[in-house]
Structure 1
Amino acid sequence: MVGPLDRKLLRDLWRMKGQALAIAVVMALGVMLQVMMSGLVSSLEETRRGYYERYRFAEVFAPVVRAPERLLDRIAALEGVNAVEGRVSGLALLDLPGHAVPVQAQALSLPHGDAPALNAIRLEAGRLFERGHPEEAVLLESFAAAHGLRPGDHLAATMNGARFDFRITGLARSPEFLYAAAPGEMVPDDARFGVLWLSPEAMAAAFDMEGAFNEALVGLARGAGAPGVIEALDRLLAPWGAAGAYDRADQFSNRFVSEEIAGLKDSATTIPPIFMAVAAFLLNIVIARMVQAEREEIGLLKAFGYRSGEIGAHYLKLVLVIALTGAALGCLFGIAAGRGMVQVYLAYFKFPFLVFRLEPAAFALGTLVSVAAAAAGGAVVLRRVFRLQPAEAMRPPAPPDYAFAGRWKGLTRWLDQPSRMVLRRFTRTPFRMAGAVVGITCGMALSVGMLTIHAGFDRAIMLSFDVMDRSDVAVTFTHAVSDKTLLELARHPGIERVEGVRHVAVILRNGRQSHRGSITGLPPEPALTRALTPALHPIAMREDGLVLSTALAAKLGLEVGQDLTVDVREGAQPLLQLPVVGVSDTVLGAPAYMALAGLNRALGEPGRVSGAALRIDTADAEEIFAWLKGMPVVAGVSLKAEARGAFRKLMDEGAGWTRFVMAAVAFVITFGIVYNAARIALAERAHDLASLRVIGFSRGEAAYVLLGELGLVTLLALPLGAGLGAALSYLLAAAYSSEIYTVPVVFRATTFGNAALVVIAGAVISGLLVKRDVDRADLVATLKTRD
C-alpha cells in the first residue's frame, strides 16, 4: 500500500521532473565516462592477452647478424626457455602500380606445414604458400585492404638489392603487428607499411641465409623471468653479431599497444573522476537547496506527528530516485559508448575481434558516488531543519541582517527597483549565491580544459611537421652507408637540400631507469630536422654529449650536466658514458640527439649515415621517387605530407578520440549546471515573483529579477572558471600524453572565449526556459498558503 509520504514523493518528482531529469543526466554523464573507459581498458587487456596466447606470441626476441640454425637447439636447452623459433627477417621495397613513392615492408620467413612454434599468423583470406613455390607470399591484411589487393594479385618487391615478383596467396593478421609502422617511424599507416610472409627458401635466397637465421624467437617456461634468459641469449649469440635480446615489453607493436592501454588507463583514473566530482558537487548543491526550500513542509509533517527519521527517509528516497536514475542511465550510456569506441579501436589496432567487456567495479563506483553525493547534499540541511520545533519550522526563516546591504546604498540609488532586488539577493544569501557561482565555475572549467586539449593536439601536429621537421622527404638506407651517398643525392635534379642523419639503436641507462630507443645523429646546425628548446629556439648539436627530449629526460630522471650510460646495440656495440648537454621540447616520441660527427667518432665509424632528410622541388617529385626506388641502398622513402596525415589519424583515434566524447560531455554538463542553477532560483523565488506580479510589476520586470540573478552569477563565474580551467588543462594534458606523443598545453584567447560562449549560451537558453515558466505561472496557486 502506498503511504502518504510515498504519494507526496511521486507528486514532488512529477512537479520537479525537468530539474530532476537534468540532475540525473549530469550524473549519468559522469558515470558514463567511468563505465566506458574502465570497460575499454579491461576489453583491450583481455583481448590482447587472449590473442597473444592463442597465436603464441614470443616473449623474447633476439636479433643477430647471421647465426647457424644449429644454435637453435642450444637456445632451446637454456634454462627458462619453453619454445624457440629461428627466422629470417629483412626489409623490402614494394612497387605498387600508380604509387610513385616506394612503400616499405617487412619480409619474414614462415615455416611450412604445421603452425610455427611461435608468432603464428591468422589467415583472413586465401591460403598459405606451398612448398616448392618461392614466388608465393602471404600479405598483411590491413595493407592489402588499403591498396585493394586480393589473393591472386601480383606484387613486385625489391629485397637486398634484387627485384622479385610475388603472387599473393593469402591475407593475414598477426599479434606481432597490431600496431604496424615502417622502420624508423612511430606513426602507423596501413597504406605506407606492409608485411610479407615468405617461405624459408625464398627468404634464405633473398638475404643469403641458407642454413642460418637472423632472429630468434623465444617462449618462456612458466615462472621463468625474461632478464635471465636475455642475459644467456646475449652470451650465446655474441659471436654471431647479436644486437641484444629484448623482451616483449620492448617489442615495437606491443610497446605501443601497451602505451595506448596505459594512456587510456591513466585517462580512466583521472578524467572521469573530475567529471563525476563536478556532477556530484552540483547534485549536492541542488539537493541541499531543495531541502531548504521544503522547510515549511517539513515543519508541517512534524506537526502531524511524523518523526524525523520518517521524514528523513522520505527525502532520502527522493534523492535516491534521482541519483539511481542517473547512475542507471550512466551505465546504459557507458555500455553504448563503450561498444561504439570498440569499433574505433578495432580499426586502430589490428585485433581480429574486440568485444566490449563490462567492468562491475565501474558500475559500483558510479552508483556509489551518485548515491553518496545525493545523500550528503540532503543530510546536512535535514539535520539543521530537524532541530527546529514544528511551529518554528513552518515559519519562513528569519530575514537576514540588511546592514551589509546598506553599504551598497551609494550604488543602489543609481539602480532601478528590480536591479536593487537582484543585488539585495546577493547580500542576503552570500553563501547560497557562492554555491551557484562555484557550480557554474566548474562547468566553465570543464569547457576550458577540453577546448585547451583540442588546441594542444592541433599544436602538436604543427610543431612536429612545420617547426621541428622542415623537410619534404625522409630516406632510409638499408644500412649505415658512406656520407658520399649524400653528395649523390644532392647532385640529382630537383633535390634542393640534403641533410644526413644516423639512427643508432641503443639502450640508455641511468641507475635503475632504462630506455630502449635510438640516438639520432644530426649536423651541428640542422635546418631540416631540428631539436628545439621549449621557447622553440633551435639547439645546436654538440659532439661531446646528448640532447634528450623532455619526455626522455623525465623518464630517465636526468638533468643537464648529468652522465648516462649508452649501451650501443649495433656494430662493435661499445658501452659509452655521455653527458646530457641539453633538453629539447618534442611532441612525437622520446628522441635523443647528438652531433653526427661526434656520434660516428664514438662508434669508431667515421663518415657514416643511415638516412637523409630532403627538401625537393615538387615539380620533379615523381622522377625523384622513381630514381630513389632504383637505388640499392634505399630501404624506404617517406613523405612528410603522408606522415602528417597518419599522425593526425593517430591523434584522432584511440585514446585521443575520447577527447571528442568528453568535450561533448563537458558542454552538456556545463549546460546542466547553468540550467539547474536557474531552476533552483525559480523554485526558491516563485512566491516572491508572484507577489511582484500582484503588486503591479510586469512579466518582464518580474522575470528580470530572476534572470538578473542568473546573469550576475554567470558573470562572476566566467573569470573564476577560466582560472580553474587553466589549472585543469595541465591535468588533462598529462592524462592524454604518452610515450608516443606529448600533448602541449596551449592557451588561446579563442579557447576562453568559446568556453565563455558555451556558458553564456547555456545561461541564455536556461533563462528563456525559466522565463517561459514564470510567464505561465498561476499567480493564485503560487500565492496560496499550504494547509
Structure 2
Amino acid sequence: MIRGHLIKLFKPLNRKLLRDINLMWGQVLAVSLVLGCGVAIYVMMNGTLASLKDTLAAYYSRYDMADVWAPARRAPLQQMEHLKNIPGVRLAEGRISVGGILDMPLEAEPVRAKIMSLPDGRMPRINALFLKAGSLPERGSEQVVIADDFAEAHSLRVGDEVQATLYGVRRTLKISGVALAPEFIYSIAPGEMIPNARRYAIMWMGYEALGHAYNMDGAFNEAVFLLDRSASVPEVLARIDVVLDPYGGIGAYHRDDQLSDEFLQSEFTTLDTLGGLLPPIFLGVAAFLLNMVVTRIVEQEREQIGLMKAFGYRPSAIVWHYLRFAGIIVLIGVLGGWLAGYRMGGGMANIYKDFYKFPILIFDPGLGIYLRAAVFAGVAGVLGVLLAVRKTISLRPAVAMAPPAPTDYSRLGRFASKARWMDQGLRMIVRHIARWPGRSALTCLGVAMGMAIMIGAQSGRDAINLMIATQFELVSRQDLTVAFTEKQDPVIINELMAQKGVIAAEPFLAAPATIRFGHRSRHQGVTGVVQNANLNVLINQYDQAVNPSPQGVTLSESLATALAAGPGDLITLEFKDGLRKSERLPVMKVVPTYLGTPAYMDIDDMSTLLRECDRVSGAYLLVDAHELERIYGLLKDMPTVAAVSTNQSSRKAMSDTMDETMGTMTFFNSLFASLIAIGVVFSGARISFYERQREIASLRVLGFTVAEVNAVLLGELAVLTFLALPLGAYLGYQLALFIHTNMSSELFRVPTTVSNWSFAYATTVIILAAVVSAAVIARQVAKLNLVMALKTRE
C-alpha cells in the first residue's frame, strides 16, 4: 500500500507540480499572502459581527432588555395599571430617571450623572442589572449602584462614597454595588458624540430614596415595557402616548430608537459594509495575480502541454494539474488567513468588550464563516486558473507544440521611427507595453487597486479627523455647555456673565417634540439658538456660519433625509413642553451635521410658540482657562445646574476612542492593503522578468550592459507604476465615498474626505514596492545564465 502511494506521488504531473512550486515560490507566497489578507479580513470583520450579534441577543434576552421606553414629566404610579393593560404589553414597570452632578475628588470638572430608580429590595423585572460586585441598595438608604465603566475610570469600589448634587441638594452617596446594564452598553451623555466614562456616570438608587430626593414620591417619569411577539408596535406606542399625554408624556419609542441600541446597530452596519466590501476586493486582486502567474506558466509550457496531449493526457487532467497548483496557493492563503483572522478577531473582541459594555464577549465566528472564507478564496483561485488555461488547453497537440508566431512589432516600429525623441531603450519599453495592451492594462489596474484599498482604509481616519475638527473648531466653539434643572429666567445668563473668568455666554432653549412630515415622524428635540451666534454655530456645506431662519425650522441633513423633507416643505411640530402646542412650520434651511438628527429654531420664535417667553434651558460659555477650576466649583454649587460638559474633555475622549477603535481597524486594513500592493508590484515584476529572460540574454550577448538591460526591463515597471498612481488615487477616492456612504446612518453621518497624507502614504508604498521589486529583479538580471536562457525556445 505504501509503495502504491509512493508511485502515485511521483507520477509525472505530481513531480512537475512540486517542481513548479519550488521554482516559483516567490510568486506562490505573494499570491498566498494576498489571498490570506482577504480571508483574514473576512474572518475578522464577519466573525466580530457575528460574535457581537450573538452576544447582544443573549444579553438582551437574559436581562430582559426593554422593547419600549416612555418618558413623561410626572405620572402617578396608579397609571401603571392602565399601561399594563394595553393590548400587546407583556410586562411594564415605572421608574424615576433624573440627572445629577457629581463632585469627584480628582476631577476639577463637574461630572454628569444619570440616576435611575430600582424597586426597593429587588432587581427590576425589565432592564435587570448584571451585578459585578456588591449588592442592591438598602431600602430608604442613600446607596447607589454605579456603572462598571465609571467605577473603573475613577477607581471606585464598593463602600466608597461619592459627593453629588441632586435636585439642588448636596448629598453623600455610598456605593453598594458595581453593575452593567443592557440598556447602557453604549453609555453616551446627551449632546455628546462619544462615551466618556470619566465625565458621565450611570447610577441606580432605591425608588424610595430617589423619589424623596426629587419630590417624586408615588410617581414615575419613565415607563419601560416588554411586548408580546405578536404586538403591533405602532399601535402600542400610540396607546401609551394617550395614557401619558396628560402627565407630560414626551413620546414613547421602540428599542430601534434607543440610543445605546441605535449606536450598536450603526456599528453592525459598519462592520457589515466593510466585511462585505473589502474581502471581495482582496480576493479579486488575488484572482488577478493567480491568473498572471498561471498565464505565464501556461504560455511558457505551451509545448509541454501539447506534448502531454499527444501522449494521451486529457484536457481535464491538464486543467486539474493547474487547479492543484492553484489549490496549494489557496490552501496556504486560507490557513494563514484563518489564523490571522482568528487572532485579529480576538483582539477586536477585546476592544469592543471595553468600548461596548458587555459582561463577556468572546470571538466565536462559527464554522460557517471559516468555510465561506475558504470557498470565496477557492472560487478566486479557480477563476484565476480557468481564465489562464482556457485558450491554450483548446489547441490541438501539433499547434500547441509549435512555437507561437513571433511578435509583430511592425506597426509600432513605424510609429517609433517617427518619434525621433525616443532613444533605443525607450522605444523597446513603449513597444512592449503597446504590443500587449491587455496585459499592461491589467498590471496597471492591479497596482491601482492596491493603492485604492490603502486610500480607502486610511480615509476612515481622515473622516474622523474632519468630524472632530468641524465639531470642535467650527460648530462648538464654547468651552462649557451648562444645562439647567428647569427652564430659567434669562437673568441667569447675566449672573453667569458677571462671574470672573466668564468671557461670553449665549443661551439656548431645548424642548422635546414630535416632528411629522407626511407619514414620517421622529421624536426629536428642538433647540432654540440665538441669531449671529459666536459660541455654538450652525454652518452650511461650505463651512460658513448661518443663522436660524425666523418663522421657520432649520433641519439637520440627516433629519431632513429621514423625513424626506426639504426647504419649503411644511412640517408639523408637536411640542411636548409648555402648552404642548402643535404648529405647522416651513423648513427654511438644511444644514450638515455629523451626529444625531437635530432641529433648530430662532430662540425668540420658539419661546413664543411654547408660550414660555423669557425662559432658557442652558447656556454656552466661553471662559478664561486660568479661571476654569473656580468656575467649575461655582457650577457644582449652583442648585439650578443639572449638567456641565466641556469641549476639551469631549474632544479628547472622542480622539482617544476613535484611535482605539477606528485606529485599530484602519491599521489592519492599511497593513493588508499595503501587502496587496507590494504583492501586485512584486509579482508583476517577477513575471515580466521570467517572460523576457531570452530577450534579456539576447541583449546582453548583443553588448548591452547590465545597467542598460535593467533600464529596459525595469522601465516598463516604472511606466506602468507611474500610470497606476493617478488611477489608484481616483479609485481610492471612489472606494472611500462608497464605504462612507454605506456606513452613514441617521445617527452618524460619515463625511467623505481623503487627506493629502493618505494619498502620499499610498503613493509612497507603491513606489517603495516598485523600487524593492526593481532591486530584486536587477540582481536576478546580473546573475542570469545567458546560455541557459538562450536555449529557451520562442
Q: What's the counterpart of residue 422 of structure 1?
A: 429
Selected match of 2:120 from 83, 92, 112: 112
In the other structure, the counterpart of 2:53 is 45
- Equivalent position of 1:443 in the other structure: 450
TM-score using structure 1 length: 0.95
Count of aligned residue pairs for this structure pair: 786
Per mean C-alpha deviation after superposition, the further-off stretch among 442-451 and 653-662 is 653-662
**1:89: how far off?**
1.6
Aligned twin of 2:630: 623
What CA distance in whole angstroms lies between the structure 2 residues aligned with 1:433 and 1:670? 16
Partner of 1:228: 235
Shift of 1:653: 4.1
Q: For residue 169 of structure 1, what is the amino acid of its counterpart?
A: S
Which one of the candidate residues 5, 9, 12 is aligned to 2:17?
9
Rounded to whole Å, the distance in 2 between the matches of 1:507 and 1:772 is 72
Match of 1:456 in 2: 463
Task: Tell me, yes or no, if the aligned pair for 1:497 and 1:614 is still in contact at 8 Å.
Answer: yes
Q: What aligned pairs does 1:174-253 form with structure 2 within 5 A after superposition?
A: 174-253=181-260
CA distance in 1, matches of 2:272, 2:120: 40
1:323 deviates by 2.5
| Distance in 2 separating the partners of 1:98 and 1:377 | 62
Q: Alpha-carbon deviation of 1:354? A: 0.7
Find the counterpart in structure 2 of residue 613 from structure 1.
620
Which position in structure 1 is the counterpart of 2:73? 65
> Does structure 2 conserve the Cα–Cα contact (< 8 Å) formed by 1:38 and 1:359?
no
One-letter code aligned to 2:188: A
| 1:296 counterpart residue number | 303
Larger mean Cα displacement after TM superposition, 498-507 or 739-748: 739-748
Q: In the superposition, relative to structure 1, how do residues 357 and 513 fare at CA in structure 2: closer, same or farther (>3 Å)?
A: farther
In the alignment, does 2:365 pair up with 1:358? Answer: yes
CA displacement, residues 106-157 of structure 1 (integer Å, 9 cap, x when unaligned): 111112333221111111122222235x122211111011011111111111
Superposed, 1:306-321 pairs within 5 Å as 306-321=313-328
Is 2:36 the counterpart of 1:33?
A: no
SS in 2 for 1:408: helix
Q: Which residue of 1 aligns with 2:94?
A: 86
* Alpha-carbon distance between aligned partners in 1 of 2:440 and 2:178, rounded to the nearest angstrom: 65
Aligned to 2:106: 98
CA contact (8 A) 2:283 2:380 kept: no
Judged with a 3 Å threshold, the aligned counterparts in structure 2 of structure 1 residues 186 and 574 are, in CA distance, closer, same or farther, namely farther
Query: What does residue range 549-698 of structure 1 map to in structure 2 within 5 Å?
Result: 549-654=556-661, 657-698=664-705
In structure 1, distance between residues paired with 2:731 and 2:160: 59
CA contact (8 A) 1:441 1:720 kept: yes
Shift of the 456–241 alpha-carbon distance from structure 1 to 2, 3 Å rule, reads closer
Q: Which moved more, 1:692-701 or 1:497-506?
A: 692-701
Cα distance in 2 for residues equivalent to 1:383 and 1:253: 54
Q: Percent identity?
A: 40
Give the alignment partner of residue 522 of structure 1, picking from 496, 513, 529: 529
Per-residue displacement from partner, 1:490-516 (whole Å, max 9, x unpaired)?
Answer: 111111111111222223232333333
**For structure 1, which segment, 296-305 or 171-180, has the greater mean C-alpha deviation from structure 2 after superposition?**
296-305
Q: Quick one: structure 1 residues 529 and 765, their matched pair in 2 at CA, closer, same or farther if it must change by over 3 Å?
A: same
Residue 474 of structure 1: SS of its match in structure 2?
strand
Structure 2 distance, partners of 1:650, 1:20, is 39
Residue of structure 1 in register with 2:132 after alignment = 124
Q: Counterparts of 1:723 and 1:411 in 2: how far apart (Å)?
A: 33
Instruction: Give 1:130's aligned amino acid.
Output: E
Specify which of 143, 148, 152 is matched with residue 136 of structure 1. Answer: 143
Deviates more, 1:246-255 or 1:379-388: 379-388
Residues in 1 aligned to 2:661 and 2:522: alpha-carbon distance in whole angstroms: 24
Secondary structure of the residue that 1:407 maps to in structure 2?
helix
The 5 Å alignment of 1:465-480 reads 465-480=472-487
Cα displacement string for residues 393-441 of structure 1 (whole angstroms, at most 9, x for unaligned residues) = 2333212322222233346655454433222211322222122111112
Where does 1:318-357 land on structure 2 (aligned, <5 Å)? 318-357=325-364
Farther off after superposition, 771-780 or 237-246: 771-780
| Unaligned segments of structure 1, at least 5 residues | none
C-alpha distance in structure 2 between counterparts of 1:758 and 1:513, whole Å: 49
Aligned partners of 1:91 and 1:105 also within 8 Å? yes
User: Which has the larger displacement, 80-89 or 750-759?
Assistant: 750-759
Alpha-carbon distance between aligned partners in 1 of 2:704 and 2:628, rounded to the nearest angstrom: 76
Find the aligned partners of 1:733 and 1:456 in 2 and give their Cα distance.
9
2:538 partner SS: coil
Give the partner amino acid of 1:332.
Answer: L
Instruction: Answer whether contact 1:61 1:216 (CA < 8 A) is retained.
Output: yes
Task: Name whichever of 651-660 and 720-729 sits farther off.
Answer: 651-660
- Matched residue, 2:3: none
Pick closer, same or farther for the CA change 1:686–1:447 going to 2, 3 Å. Answer: same
- In the TM superposition, what whole-angstrom CA distance separates every residue of 1:602-635 from its partner, at most 9, and x where no partner exists? 2222222211111111111111111111111111
**How far apart are residue 158 of structure 1 and its match?**
0.7
> What SS is found at the alignment partner of 1:74?
helix
- Where structure 2 has 5 or more consecutive residues not aligned to the other structure, the ranges are 1-7
Contact 1:120 1:174 in 2 (8 A): yes
Q: Mark the CA change 1:59 to 1:498 in structure 2 (over 3 Å): closer, same or farther.
A: same
Deviations 1:340-399 (A, max 9, x none): 110110111011111113155543443333223332233234232133333332333212
Query: Cα distance, 1:93 vs. partner?
Result: 0.6
What's the CA shift for 1:716? 1.4
Aligned to 1:259: 266
How far apart are the structure 2 equivalents of 1:119 and 1:189? 22
Identify the residue that residue 729 of structure 1 maps to in structure 2. Answer: 736
- Residues 410 and 453 of structure 1: is their aligned pair in 2 closer, same or farther, counting only changes over 3 Å? farther
The answer for the alignment partner of 1:269 in structure 2 is: 276
Structure 1 residue 762, shift from structure 2 partner: 0.8
Once residues 263 and 753 of structure 2 are traced to their aligned partners in structure 1, the CA distance between those partners, rounded to angstroms, is: 25
Q: Partners of 2:345 and 2:583 in 1: how far apart?
A: 48
Superimposed CA distance per residue, residues 459-498 of structure 1 (whole angstroms, 9 cap, x where no aligned partner): 1111110111111111111122222211111111111111
The letter for the 2-side match of 1:710 is L
CA offsets, 1:219-263, max 9 Å, x none? Answer: 112322322222222222222222222222222222222222223
CA RMSD of the aligned region, Å? 2.1
Alpha-carbon separation, structure 2, partners of 1:198 and 1:632: 20
Do the aligned residues in 2 keep the contact of 1:655 with 1:736 (CA within 8 Å)? no
Per-residue CA shift, 1:255-274, capped at 9, x if unaligned? 22222222322332333333
Q: Between 683-692 and 626-635, report the one with greater CA deviation.
A: 683-692
Deviates more, 1:575-584 or 1:406-415: 406-415
Q: How far apart, CA to CA, are the structure 1 residues paired with 2:419 and 2:297?
A: 30
CA 1:216/1:614 → structure 2, altered by over 3 Å: closer, same or farther?
same
Alpha-carbon spacing, 1:668–1:567, altered in 2? closer, same or farther (3 Å): farther
Structure 1 stretch displaced more, 698-707 or 742-751: 742-751
Does residue 54 (structure 1) correspond to residue 62 (structure 2)? The answer is yes
Name the amino acid aligned to 2:631. I
Determine if contact 1:110/1:198 at 8 Å carries over to the other structure: yes
**Contact persistence 1:280–1:369 (CA under 8 A):** no
Shift of 1:785: 4.5
Q: Where does residue 23 of structure 1 map in the other structure?
A: 31
- Please report the TM-score for the alignment, with normalisation by the length of structure 2: 0.95
